[in-house]
Amino acid sequence: MINIKTPAEIEYMRIANGIVRDLLLYMEEIVKEGVTTAYLDEKARAFIEKRGAKPSFLGYEGFPGSICTSIDDVVVHGIPNKHTYLKEGQIIGVDVGTFIHGFNGDGARTFAVGKISPEKQKLIDVTRQSFFEGIKVLKDGVRLGDVSHAIQTYAESFGYGVVRELTGHGIGREMHEDPSVPNYGPAGHGVRLRSNMTIAIEPMINMGVKEVYIARDGWTVRTRDGKPSAHYENTVLITDEGVEILTL
């Protein structure tokens, strides 16, 4: 069942996702060569708690971090740790979740560590733009597949692989609610999206093949060919005319 949020619930979603927005801007400032992913995790947790919220990811199905830190060929769900130092030329996906007043916020960005190759920059830019191609078509009454198809078509036009195993999702009282929001699929299919639904749209785009695998830690998702992957996510509120992006 897809939840339609009440005006009061939407206000709480704005609060939770406003913290995500601010935290992602802060993360962009502190991502640099030589810091560990554990450092980013500690700083994020402190930021979230200072705002009176909780990190939604911490303990989620046993996840050990407050954020996910996914470097280069890691697609998503990288576990922060004190042994992994950021190096110039890497790209790092930072995915954060917040929980406050009974509601969740969720968003992700991929950042450059120092100077990166033009190929990696293009991957980041296309991944971000694929999100915006998706929301261009999104408003009350459109079918989910129209959004998915727009994301897929744009990303694949650059020869990139669109990850199938992981998707966006409805979000509210639960971090993951219905519907599942794939980044691929045929237009004109799927449920109709309605005003006052809140969904997280999160393209995960690989420079090479679309196939991924889960590492032995049970969390880390990597590209099968070892090429880089980028992630871009916002939580959006669907309106009669379009969307309100709650994490931007």
| Contact residues: Mg ion, CB under 5 A | 106, 200
DSSP state of 45: H
Question: How far, in Å, CA of 155 to CA of 157, rounded?
Answer: 5
Token pair of 216 as six digits:
């032995």
Shortest distance, position 168 Cβ to Mg ion, whole Å: 6
Tokens of 157: 């036009």
CB of 212 to Mg ion, least distance (A): 16
Residue 6 beta carbon to Mg ion: minimum distance, rounded to whole angstroms: 22
How far apart are CB 170 and Mg ion at their closest, in Å? 10
**For Mg ion, the closer CB: 200 or 207:** 200
HSE (CB half, 13 Å, CA atoms) of 177? 20
The nearer residue to Mg ion, 19 or 200, going by C-beta atoms, is: 200
- The Cα 55–Cα 200 span in angstroms is 17
Q: In whole angstroms, give the CA distance from residue 208 to residue 225.
A: 7
Taking the least distance from each CB to Mg ion, the nearer of 178 and 225 is 178
Q: Which is nearer to Mg ion, 91 or 96 (CB)?
A: 96
User: Residue 90 or 247: which CB sits closer to Mg ion?
Assistant: 247
Q: What's the min distance (Å) between Cβ of 109 and Mg ion?
A: 12
3-class SS letters over 58-106: CCHHHCCCCEEEEECCEEECCCCCCCCECCCCCEEEEEEEEEECCEEEE
* Residue 159 structure tokens: 């020869």
